[in-house]
Structure 1
């Protein structure tokens, strides 16, 4: 009994401390579960019309330059091109060109020349594919640079010359310098390969064309 009597004051003090701390513990609340809270916006939504931006995949342009017809010399050439860019590296293109061929060099050998009026129209229509090989920049001065690309191009087509229409090929190289996102200056060098029958002899000819022009993208 003496041991219990000695421990009784300590037990009474512990019970008193527990009673005093119970109200403080009751005031502590568990944190709210934020996952169960749903925020409902009170803003009325409105219809938004999305702007339409051009893709710039289509290309159209005019060109002019010199066309060297084998055996007949060089003359002015002009035409137009329409293309579609499949990817950043590949594009396809259709081109129409026209030049006037003179037989003046043959009049020294053949009286009256080869062509009855002295001049003959040469027209071609080509469908080609091209690949961009060297994208880069062209600098104009120290602080002005424009994007550029060098490409290889080749395809098939038809050529009408001296009353004959022949199938042929074209191979070449070109360069574009972009002045804006929608405009570029272009330089092309092309070899038009087709057969022609003159003076009763058919032969395959190589006809070089050097041209420059402008292209617009939309």
Structure 2
């Protein structure tokens, strides 16, 4: 009987350390699983991007210079230089006054008939004065790089004025389309295409002429 009691005590003393070691291993495994689950959860913290937005200055006036090509009907295409002054009534509508100058070349009739001059040098000077209204049809943003966006707009224009050409002042209508890109809060880059329409009698008949102009320029708000 005593021998059996001693065997029972000896077996219990051997099992207790084994059970303790198993419990420790199980605890370590549970901790590892909890750590893995914690790492798998998405971090709700979002790092905010710092964006610097370039707004148009509070000033509503814009002055600009432009240059390009003017195709004078029957007289070829020649460089044109001009200045414009805009007043922005709102984000969508603006008024514009412009002054442009060019000089007409020779007609095909003059080229084919050497010595024939339909106009004098002074009469070939082409100067126009116009006022018009523009409407921003598609304002938006242009992404020229991965981290930088620029305000821009596609707009329509219409106006009227006078054209001094061929020794006479001609009433002129103007229709066009343009694109404006805001480089920063005070400078713009513009591309415009216009049709200057007026009646002209140089080749023996009074006809309506379409004089296409393509220009690019810069503007400054003040």
Match of 1:173 among 172, 177, 202: 177
* 2:11 alignment counterpart: none
Shift of 1:119: 7.3
Match of 1:76 among 75, 79, 88: 79
* 1:66 alignment counterpart: 69
Of 113-122 and 140-149, the range deviating more from structure 2: 113-122
* 1:145 alignment counterpart: 149
Q: What does 1:201-216 correspond to in 2, within 5 Å?
A: 201-216=205-220
Q: Say what the alpha-carbon RMSD is for the aligned residues.
A: 1.6
Q: How far apart are the structure 2 equivalents of 1:158 and 1:124?
A: 6
Structure 1: tracts of 5 or more residues without a match: 1-53
Q: Deviations over 1:106-163 (max 9, x none)?
A: 3233342312349711000010001111011122222222110110000111001010
Alpha-carbon spacing, 1:206–1:59, altered in 2? closer, same or farther (3 Å): same
User: Does the 8 A contact of 1:104 with 1:118 survive in 2?
Assistant: no
Count of paired positions: 165
- TM-score of the superposed pair, with normalisation by structure 2: 0.71
Q: How far apart are the structure 1 equivalents of 2:185 and 2:112?
A: 53
User: Does the 8 A contact of 1:61 with 1:213 survive in 2?
Assistant: yes
Q: How far apart are the structure 2 equivalents of 1:58 and 1:74?
A: 31
Rg comparison, structure with higher value? 1
User: Does the 8 A contact of 2:74 with 2:107 survive in 1?
Assistant: no
Q: What does 1:36-185 correspond to in 2, within 5 Å?
A: 55-103=58-106, 105-110=108-113, 111-117=115-121, 120-185=124-189
